[in-house]
Amino acid sequence: MWIIPWPTPWRDEGDATTVIQLQFAAHLAGMVQNQCGVGICHSLAHQLARFGVAHGEANGIFLAPVLEFNRADAKVAQRLDQLESLLGFAIAERVREFQRGGGLAQNFRDWFARGVSGEMALDPEALAGDALVDVCTRFNPRNVVVDELIQFYNS
C-alpha cells in the first residue's frame, strides 16, 4: 500500500520503505504538476529560493494558507469539501500537523524568524510583486492581487 500513515515519516528517517514511498509520492505529484498549473502556492514559494529555502519547504510554508485563501471561491470550496470528505480529514489542518510533527515552519514569519541565509533583506512588497508575475500565478483557481500576496509574506 502506498499510503503513508501519520506520523511514520517522522519516526524513523532511515526507514527505506518510507523513503521509497515519499519518493513515489513526489513522483506522482510531479506528474500531476506537469498536467495542470500549480497556482500561487508555487508562485509565493519560488520567491524564497533567493533566501536559500528548499522548494518543498517553501511550498509547505504557504500550502495551508493558500488552500484557505482559494476556498473562498465556491467551486474550489466544493472540490476541497469533496476531496476532504473522501480523505476523512481537512487538508490544511493535516498539512499543519505534518509541519508541527516535523518541526517545520508553519508560515513565512516562523521560517524567517529562524534566520535567513543570504544577504537579501525581506521586502514583502517586492516578493509579492515577483510572485504576481510568476507564471504559476495565472493557474491559480482564484484571481489574486499583489496586496493579497503581500499578506502571505506578512502573516
pLDDT digits (tens, 9 = 90+) for 99-126: 888 888 877 777 777 765 554 567 899 9
**Where do the domains of the chain lie?**
38-154
Q: What is the DSSP letter of 6?
A: T
Q: 40-97, pLDDT tens digit by residue?
A: 999 999 998 888 888 888 888 899 999 999 999 999 999 999 999 999 999 999 988 8
Q: Which long-range contacts (CB under 8 A, 24 or more apart) does 44-52 make?
A: 44/127, 44/131, 44/149, 44/152, 44/153, 46/130, 46/131, 46/134, 46/136, 47/127, 47/130, 47/131, 47/134, 48/108, 48/127, 50/118, 50/120, 51/116, 51/117, 51/118, 51/120, 52/116, 52/117, 52/118
- Per-residue model confidence (pLDDT) at position 147: 97
User: What would the mean pLDDT of 26-33 be, rounded to a whole number?
Assistant: 80
Q: Please determine, for residue 6, whether its predicted confidence score (pLDDT) is greater than 50.
A: no
Q: Which residue do the cell numbers 534566520 mark? A: 115
pLDDT tier at 149 (50, 70, 90 boundaries)?
Answer: very high
Neighbour tally for 62: CB within 10 Å: 24
- Per-residue model confidence (pLDDT) at position 1: 35
Q: How far is CA 6 from the centre of its chain?
A: 18
CATH fold for the domain made of 38-154: Dehydroquinate synthase-like, alpha domain (1.20.1090)
- Per-residue model confidence (pLDDT) at position 88: 92
- Per-residue model confidence (pLDDT) at position 55: 85
Q: Please determine, for residue 150, whether its predicted confidence score (pLDDT) is greater than 70.
A: yes
- Per-residue model confidence (pLDDT) at position 14: 66
- Per-residue model confidence (pLDDT) at position 120: 52
